[in-house]
Amino acid sequence: MTEVIERLIFSQRKLVVFLFVLATVFLGYQASNMRLDAGFEKNIPLNHEYMQTYMQYREDFGGANSILVSVCDKDGNIFNQNFFDTLKNVHDQLFFINGVDRSLVVSLFSPSTRFTEIVEGGFAGGPVIPADFNSANPDALDLVAANIEKANIVGRQVSNDYSCAMVTAQLLEIDPETGEPLDTLALAGELEKQLRDKYESDQISIHIIGFAKMIGDVADGAKDVLFFFAIAIAITAIMVYFFSRSIMLTVLPLLCSLIAVIWQLGLLTTLGFGMDPMSILVPFLVFAIGVSHGVQMINAVEKQAVSGMGAKKASMVAFRRLLVPGGIALLSDTVGFMTLLVIDIGIIRELAITASMGVAVIILTNLFLLPVLMSFLKLDRDYVKKFEGKESHTSKFWSLIAACSNKGPATVILIVTGVLFVFGFIQSQQMKIGDLHAGAPALHESSRYNQDTFLITDKYEVTVDYISVLVETTPEACTSHSVMKAIDDFQWKMRNVQGVQSAVSLASVAKTVNAGYNEGNVKWQVLPRNQQTLVQAIARVPTSSGLLNGNCSVMPVILFMQDHKAETISRVVDAVKDYRTEYETDDLKFSLASGPVGVMAATNEAVKAAQTPMMAYVFGAVIALCLISFRSLRATLVVVVPLYVVSVLAQALMTLLEIGLTVSTLPVIALGVGIGVDYGIYILSTKSLMLKKGATVQEAYMAALKERGSAVLFTGITLAIGVSTWVFSSLKFQMDMGILLTFMFLVNMLGAIIVLPALSRFLWWRRSE
Amino acid sequence: MKKVIAASLAASLSFTAVADNAFKAPLVKKSLLLDVAATDYAVIVGERGHILLSSDGNTFEQATVPTQSTLTATTIVGDEVWAVGHDAVILYSSDRGKSWVIQNFEPDLQRPFLDVHFFDSEHGIAVGAYGLFYRTKDGGQNWSAERHASLLAPIDLEYLESVREESEEFYQQELNSILPHINRVTFDDGTLYLAGEAGLLAHSDDKGQSWQRYDVDYTGSFFDIKPLDEEAVLAVGLRGNMFVMRNNDNWEFVNTCSTSTLNSILVASDSRVVSLGNNGMLVSATRPLPVSEVDPYANPLDCTPAEGVSKRQVEDKAALVNAAQFNGQTIAVSASGIKTLNLEKE
């Protein structure tokens, strides 16, 4: 079979190269149209129970995708002309940014911001900022200051210390101008350009938070990512040159790996996908996996060339020997990544497509194109000379490592591995789900976005961290005292859960209004039993408040949280679940959940639920392909066991580094398996061949090391050095991934050349010396 | 008969209520609290039937209470404590607030009690919305309702008398709905003072059997009335209005320049009185109180307070409802819970 393909390809070398050039030109053109693309909804498990509730009521109560703009006065007092002029400009500007839901832009300047006060004759009220407001008049500012107090909006629209005021807006999911999904990154750019650039000054600072701004900042940081990719590629190139001692042999594997990346990006664009900022590392991983296979290829060619073959012959032999192991490794990656499709979160599905496609094209570029290109080279005597003597002095090194297969060292290695595994397993069980820190975890704590988050959390009582529990009951239920009391009781119980900062519902507002109807006397701050009185209180709350729907059959209880750490969220969600098992009836349901934290709660649960199946699928694919190709349970075990230990250790490392398992970090572990599986399969393929020929474990391993070991060792170290530079990235996300990938490149390599032989020593007990 | 039904209803309801209110809320000290009473121990009552007890003014413990109705007022006589509130609930404790029983519970009345006073451990009154007035002569085992038409403004009284000529039944019905809210009763040196809705200030020399209404030139509601010394009686109310009466003469206006409703009067010292109000307002006035001619309905924006009157707001601006001196501290209750006030600042 292999020989048929080999003959077919090497007899038409120029045609093959031509076809590849053609494809690369086409896909390269496509890739040049590649754009970054971020959407709120693809980060959400839309079919999760909570998100069903969220989608159902999004029209009534607004979505979770909001933007908060805090305008702050540097002197700490907002009551001056300059501040109010700027605030008005910011409000107007935000109103006109495309993608903003114009009916839901709220600030001091929106007409819905009103105050009510109690006077001898009843109520008096009006907009907080009157129609004839003139910011130049100090008396007008004094009046607004008094109205703000009466309107009871301090902590929400005005900061507690009166140094800032807030403009909030909700974002649409569909762009009203184009009918396409909203371009979140363009919107983030507009926010920066239209608001911060225009209105930030010596006197005024502007702080913007919300998903759109966060992902925009990540995308900006992603430009940095490209720079770090370049560094990693440069380091790899230098290392490959030292390994191959030939410029052409350095250029070709890197070129083929880059072609794989180009194809991947081109295919993505052709299929209509964009690149999500959170998936920006995938092209690099494709490159890395490509390099790993490319180095195996040049290593094999070099070995053949040194033994006296010409370049073409050497390339053909290398192709023949590597097609099967390389193919299995890449195929199991592809299948493994494809299984990520079963996870019902848009961004992970995109990643599954991106990654599996990337790995699949490596089969073409590095297992076919690369040997064909190398067959055109002239590997003359000068080249061969460079490697003379190398064999003899590396042999000593290999025999040292080969000792791993001896009984004593093998026992020690397995014990150490076992201890590490137990330690890692215990640690990995403590891995936290979701975001572990306040602010955006993808960004550094010192980043502008996170600093803005801290400022807003500090100065206001409300943030974007809120969860809505939707109380679903019968139509007109808000006129029933018992329903309203049930909502009020629920709110009070939830308010008392640690991590809930404040809470609001129709019931709590109705109580305040009732006190208002009784001359503002707080002794009347109760839900009236009299239905007419209750209706009178509720009638003052418009549906635009987001506290009731049109026929008040659904009323959210909004819980503002101190933060969105995973444990805070699960504490609150658990409290809701406990409460409803006790108090829920057919006519009164407490449904989770809406609001940004409701979305996070659903995502956390989906990620947690996906974790085990995902690992099962990825390993399932690797195991199945190993079984098919090696036809040996033992061979499969020696490949899979070290891989599994490393993936457990990687989870332990995530626990130690306080990296939570989120939509963006979940696939990393699966990708790590993809990185590691190459090493094991390459080493084992030579080794199992030798074992079949009747060699002892030690002999077989020595042969495998000589043939493939240097490439494995080299690849692991090279890629690890490349990604370790990511620690300096301005994106916290890339820094975290850099640490994790460095760990996985190195430890998987060690697993393949140390643990694999030690394990073989005991699995092929009778064949060992 | 009606009483028996109410009492048995109360008993049956209280059973479930006890189970419900076993919830000891961590945030109870920050919840809406409406009254504080203190002798050598302090009792604080508020929303959802919350009752907090303290023996030192620093630590507070939530008592288990057989109701979830919001409690608006409390009073202490020796070891006995009464608390009243919405749903016409009256609670009684004989052990300094540790355990409570329901003496009255009439949710269908749809009227809250707003204040309670006991002259001794047997005789007491509970007053509230729409002239609600209950009296007991046996420590609260039996409560009887009274209606005091003498609390009405002359013009309303005139109307009622004309109704009475037509039918006694219709008169009682009208009286039941026309009577003003009674917000506060204060007993001092044999005189019972009363503050209520729509300019109502009154006093009684027979523990509230009969009432004489004061003539005040203000139609807004009063929330507290308190004699300061032998000469002066002070009343506070809606939109920061403060009136003082000297030597049983006319009520005179004290300009505070505050538009926040004042809920309670606290005599801070011989030379100073403090009033607590909505929006966290604290109005402090030196004694004797300065009076002025200013119109209580004037535009508050250009206003100079009377001499010796100053105001400030507590930090969170939560409505301050009442306060009591206890264990060397001033303990206030507010819409955001217990606050220890430092009156040295006034």
Nearest CA in chain A to B280: A149
First to last CA, chain B: 53
Which two structure tokens, joined as six digits, stand for A80? 């001056």
- Give the count of Cβ contacts less than 8 A between chain A and B: 68
Work out whether strand B80-85 and strand B71-77 pair parallel, antiparallel, or are unpaired: antiparallel
Q: How many CB atoms lie within 10 A of CB A425?
A: 14
Q: Is there a contact between A117 and B259 if contact means CB atoms under 8 Å apart?
A: yes
Which two structure tokens, joined as six digits, stand for A221? 């940081």
Strands (E), A426-490: 466-472
For the cut 60, the answer to whether the pLDDT of residue B16 exceeds it is no
Residue B114, classed as helix, strand or coil, is: strand
Q: pLDDT tens across B46-105, in order?
A: 999 999 999 998 999 999 999 999 999 999 999 999 999 999 999 999 999 999 999 999
Between the alpha carbon of residue B341 and those of residues A709, B282, B320, B324, B336, the distances in Å are 78, 10, 11, 10, 14
Query: Would you call A530 an interface residue with chain B, using a CB distance cutoff of 8 Å?
Result: yes
Residues sharing a CB contact under 8 Å with residue B292, sequence separation 6 or more, in sequence order = B253, B254, B255, B306
A120 closest CB neighbour out of B34, B112, B238 = B238
Residues A746, A756: Cα–Cα separation, whole Å: 14
Among residues B161, B131, B163, B135, the alpha carbon closest in space to that of B148 is found at B131
Q: pLDDT tens across A707-740, in order?
A: 888 888 888 888 888 888 888 888 888 888 888 8
Task: Say which residue the tokens 């040292």 belong to.
Answer: A400
Among residues B309, B310, B338, B311, the alpha carbon closest in space to that of B322 is found at B338
Chain A residues in contact with B110 by the CB 8 A cut-off are 528-530
Residues B240, B248: Cα–Cα separation, whole Å: 23
Query: CA of A520 to nearest chain B CA: how many angstroms apart?
Result: 8
pLDDT at B300: 58
Mean predicted lDDT score pLDDT of chain B? 86
pLDDT at A545: 75
Residues of B at the A interface, defined by Cβ within 8 angstroms = 23, 25-27, 31-32, 34, 47-48, 68, 70, 72, 86-87, 107-108, 110, 112, 114, 183, 197, 219-221, 223, 238-239, 259, 261, 263, 278-279, 297, 301, 317, 319, 321, 335
Inter-residue contact A334 to A622 (CB < 8 Å): no
Q: Is there a contact between A525 and B70 if contact means CB atoms under 8 Å apart?
A: yes
Handedness of CA A124, A127, A131, A137 (dihedral sign): positive
Instruction: Give me the residues of chain A with pLDDT under 50, please.
Output: none
Cis status of the peptide bond prior to B66, with omega within 30 of 0? no
Between the alpha carbon of residue A276 and those of residues A34, A664, B103, B137, the distances in Å are 11, 10, 67, 78
Query: Would you call A496 an interface residue with chain B, using a CB distance cutoff of 8 Å?
Result: yes
Among residues A23, A450, A30, the alpha carbon closest in space to that of A272 is found at A30
Please give the ipTM for the structure prediction. 0.91
Residue B242, classed as helix, strand or coil, is: strand
Task: Select from B48, B71, B334 the residue whose CB has the most chain A CBs within 10 Å, as the one to mutate to test that interface.
Answer: B48
Q: Which CATH number fits domain A393-430+632-769: 1.20.1640.10, 2.40.50.140, 3.40.190.10, 3.40.50.450?
A: 1.20.1640.10
Which two structure tokens, joined as six digits, stand for A310? 């010409």
> Among the residues of A245-345, which ranges form H helices?
247-270, 282-306, 311-338
A522 closest CB neighbour out of B26, B108, B321 = B321
Q: What angle do CA A393, A394, A395 make, to 5 degrees?
A: 90
Q: Where in chain A is the domain with CATH 1.20.1640.10?
A: 1-33+245-388, 393-430+632-769
Q: In what order do the strands lie in the sheet with B272-277?
A: B262-269, B272-277, B281-286, B309-313
Q: What is the DSSP letter of A220?
A: H
Among residues A38, A32, A22, A17, the alpha carbon closest in space to that of A270 is found at A32
Residue B101, classed as helix, strand or coil, is: strand
Query: CA of A53 to nearest chain B CA: how many angstroms apart?
Result: 29
pLDDT at A156: 82
Nearest CA in chain B to A122: B220
pLDDT at A393: 67
Amino acid at A443: L
Work out whether strand A204-209 and strand B281-286 pair parallel, antiparallel, or are unpaired: unpaired
Among residues A262, A431, A216, the alpha carbon closest in space to that of A361 is found at A262
Query: CA of B145 to nearest chain A CA: how many angstroms apart?
Result: 21
Task: Select from B24, B31, B68, B70 the residue whose CB has the most chain A CBs within 10 Å, as the one to mutate to test that interface.
Answer: B70
Q: Is there a contact between A523 and B261 if contact means CB atoms under 8 Å apart?
A: no
Which two structure tokens, joined as six digits, stand for A401? 């490592």
Residues A359, A753: Cα–Cα separation, whole Å: 23
Query: CA of A588 to nearest chain B CA: how many angstroms apart?
Result: 18
Query: Would you call A117 an interface residue with chain B, using a CB distance cutoff of 8 Å?
Result: yes
Q: pLDDT tens across B174-199, in order?
A: 888 889 999 999 999 899 999 999 89
Task: Select from A485, A500, A522 the residue whose CB has the most chain B CBs within 10 Å, as the one to mutate to test that interface.
Answer: A522
Q: What is the DSSP letter of A657?
A: T
Residue B62, classed as helix, strand or coil, is: strand
Between the alpha carbon of residue A661 and those of residues A41, B191, B233, the distances in Å are 19, 71, 68
Handedness of CA A389, A391, A393, A394 (dihedral sign): positive
Inter-residue contact A473 to A587 (CB < 8 Å): yes
Residues A200, B51: Cα–Cα separation, whole Å: 51
Inter-residue contact B321 to B33 (CB < 8 Å): yes
Beta-bridged to residue A114, according to DSSP, are A127
Nearest CA in chain A to B301: A143
Among residues B88, B288, B75, the alpha carbon closest in space to that of B184 is found at B75
First to last CA, chain A: 35
Q: Is there a contact between B47 and A149 if contact means CB atoms under 8 Å apart?
A: no
Beta-bridged to residue B283, according to DSSP, are B275, B311
Residues A655, A666: Cα–Cα separation, whole Å: 13
Task: Say which residue the tokens 């506070």 belong to.
Answer: B236
Q: pLDDT tens across B129-182, in order?
A: 999 999 999 999 999 999 998 898 888 888 888 888 888 888 888 888 889 999
For the cut 60, the answer to whether the pLDDT of residue B332 exceeds it is yes
Nearest CA in chain B to A155: B316
Query: CA of A505 to nearest chain B CA: how many angstroms apart?
Result: 16
User: What would the DSSP string read from start to end of B183-209?
Assistant: EEEEEETTEEEEEETTTEEEEESSTTS
CATH topology of domain A1-33+245-388: Multidrug efflux transporter AcrB transmembrane fold (1.20.1640)
Dihedrals φ, ψ of A580, to 5°? -75, -25
Domains present along chain B, CATH in parentheses? 1-146 (2.120.10.10), 180-322+338-346 (2.120.10.30)
> Among the residues of chain B, which ranges form H helices?
2-20, 154-166, 168-178
